[in-house]
Each structure stands twice: as structure tokens, then as C-alpha cells.
Amino acid sequence: MQRLIEPALDPAYEEPAAASAEIATLLDAETASGTAALRDGELVGFLLGLERDESWGPNVWVEPAGHAVTELELVRDLYAEAAARWVAAGRTSHYAIVPATDPALVDAWFRLGFGHQHVHAIREPAVSSDEIEAPPGLLVRPPRRDDLETLARIDVALPEHQALAPVFSPLPVPSVAEMRDELEADFDDPRFTTFVVERDGEVIGATVGCAIEVSSMHKSLALPRGAGFLGFAAVLPEHRGSGAGRVLGETVLAWARDAGYPAVVTDWRMTNVLASRAWPGLGFRPTFYRLHRAIV
């Protein structure tokens, strides 16, 4: 059903055996728990959650293959049953990865008190270099080692932005020194392709492209195998609004075309106002939403 709407997703999961294998992997996890719905002895729905590390709080995650129902309203009944046990165990931060292509299913989760936290999205790569329209004064090029200090500042700029309203990310912001060391260690890693954008000779932003398989966030049904990944893009705060972010995104789309990727994936926080406008504006179509509910 989902691939009828978004054919760029992995066709492998149209086969019951492939989908069953994903569910079996979740069931085999040590922290798996959930509930099932039966009608006249027949399975009509299930909900399965896993615990992740405590950096996400005392949590339970419903992964892309972790829920399915024959009737939408069953989602609410299944969650009510499972969540009672999760909360009793002190697991009060709940996440669910839900197909963005099914608005009625998303609404069923919203009616459980979940909010829209994160977006996974996809689009085709650029079809020609003409799609890159750099505004006057902007130049995109590969990075040099003497860019490392500025690249570290750019890398820190994104989590700094996420820590502000309206995202309010609780994750710690690394120091520029920490990021510089990490960037220097990975500078020649062939898995990643980095571009920087200059404005009048000054580096003001950067982006990274790689294979989607490098990403730990995209997995299971939400992983379009063989796709490219726009894994990072940021512009220094004082240069936002210059068109640098858009030209960085267009550059990764062109890179993906040249590298032979059939599609490009990215993701962003829905509460990151800048990103939630920039990436749909560049043609990315939502595939999955990460929803969140904090029980306090």
C-alpha cells in the first residue's frame, strides 16, 4: 500500500517473507514488549516496542515494522494496553515511526497524544546541473584541511540551533574543539562526500552526502536500499537566508545523480522551522514520521 503512493521505497517489503523477517528481528530483541489484537482467533493487529539507550530518556520505540492493524482504531486499543505496562515500568517517553503516506493512521496516533517530532523524506536526484542555481557571490567546492576550524563551527551550529526554540533538543552540544578532532579523523573517509559553500571567499556552510546504509537512523521499512543520503547540511547563523542552504542541497542532489543513486533521502526535526521549509521546498517527499509522546 505504501509503495503505491511512494514507489521509491524498498520494493523488497512487498514480499511477506521480507516483512516477516523484520518483525521477527524486533521480537528477538531482549527489550521487546507489546500486545496483539485477536478477533475470533485471528490476528487483526499488533504493536511492538523496544527500549533504546537512556540518552532518549526512559523510552520505548515502535519501529517501522513494529505495528500493523486491519482497522485504524485498533492502534489506540493496542497502545492503551502496551503503554500501561511501559509506564508502570518507568518508560514514559514513547516514540513511533509511522508511514507519512497514511494520514488516517497518523491521525490515530495523534489522537493518542503523540506529537510530530521528526520527518524522513525522499526524492529523485537532480536530473541536470542546471538545477544548481547558486546566488551571486556563492561558490561551492570540496573542503580543504585548512577549512577544518570553520567546518567544526558549522557542525556545532546545527545542534546549537536545535537546542533553541522551538526544537528545544535536550541532547548535549559538542564543543568546536571536539568537532574539529572528529572532522580531522574522518577527513579522508571515502564513505562521505563533503562540500562547502563560500560567500565572497569565506566558508559559511557545509553539507555531507553518503550512502543511506551508513545512517543508523534509517532502518528496516524506512531504509530505501541503494539510495543516497543527504546526511548533514548547515549554514552559520549570520549567513542564513543567503541561499547557501539551498545550493548545498542542490549540490548533494547533483552528486547523487553523478554517483548513480536512484534516490536521495534526508530527515529533519519538524520543529526545526528552517529545515521543515527548506527540504520540502527542495522537493523532498515525507515517507515516515517519528512521533513522540512524553508522559509526565
Residues 61-106 pLDDT 10s: 999 999 999 999 999 999 999 999 999 999 999 999 999 999 999 9
- Give a yes or no: residue 118 inside a domain: no
Q: Is 296 within the bounds of a domain?
A: no
Residue 189 scores a pLDDT above 70: yes
**What would the mean pLDDT of 238-243 be, rounded to a whole number?**
94
Asked, for residue 279, whether it belongs to a domain, the answer is yes
Instruction: Give the pairing of strands 193-199 and 138-141.
Output: antiparallel
pLDDT score for 112 = 98
Strand-strand pairing, 264-269 and 228-235: parallel
Whether residues 138 and 105 fall in one domain: no
254 and 151 in one domain?
yes
What CATH code is carried by the domain that includes residue 19?
3.40.630.30
What pLDDT, on a 0 to 100 scale, did the predictor assign at position 139? 94
Q: Is the pLDDT of residue 131 over 70?
A: no
How many whole angstroms separate alpha carbon 24 and alpha carbon 202? 51
pLDDT-derived band of residue 264, with 50, 70 and 90 as boundaries? very high
Query: Angle at which helices 244-259 and 273-281 pack, to 10 degrees?
Result: 50
| Mean of all residue pLDDT scores within the chain | 94
Q: Reading across the β-sheet that carries 67-69, which strands appear in turn?
A: 33-39, 42-49, 67-69
- Please report whether residue 184 resides in a domain: yes
Domain hosting residue 131, numbered range:
123-285
| Same domain, yes or no: 158 and 204 | yes
Average pLDDT on 233-243 reads: 95
Residue 58 within a domain: yes
Return the amino acid letter for 19.
A
Number of Cβ within a 10 Å radius of residue 55: 9
ω into residue 166 within 30 of 0, thus cis?
A: yes
254 lies in a domain?
A: yes
Are residues 187 and 252 both part of a single domain?
A: yes
Query: Whole-structure pTM over 0.75, yes or no?
Result: yes
Does 131 lie in the same domain as 175?
A: yes
Is residue 293 assigned to a domain?
A: no
Quick one: 151 and 239 in the same domain?
yes
Which amino acid belongs to residue 265?
A: V
Helix, strand, coil tally for the chain in percent (to 5): 40, 30, 35
Q: How many domains are contained in the chain?
A: 2
Asked whether residue 238 carries a pLDDT value surpassing 80, the answer given is yes
pLDDT at residue 122 is higher than 70: yes
Same domain, 86 and 205: no
* Residues 49, 91 share a domain: yes
Q: Is residue 185 part of a domain?
A: yes
Q: Is the pLDDT of residue 193 over 90?
A: yes
> According to the model, what pLDDT value does residue 130 have?
63
**pLDDT bucket at 196, cuts 50 / 70 / 90:** very high
| Euclidean distance between CA atoms 59 and 147, whole angstroms | 39
Cβ(124)–Cβ(10) under 8 Å?
no
- Is the pLDDT at 128 greater than 80? The verdict is no
Q: Give the pLDDT of residue 288.
A: 97
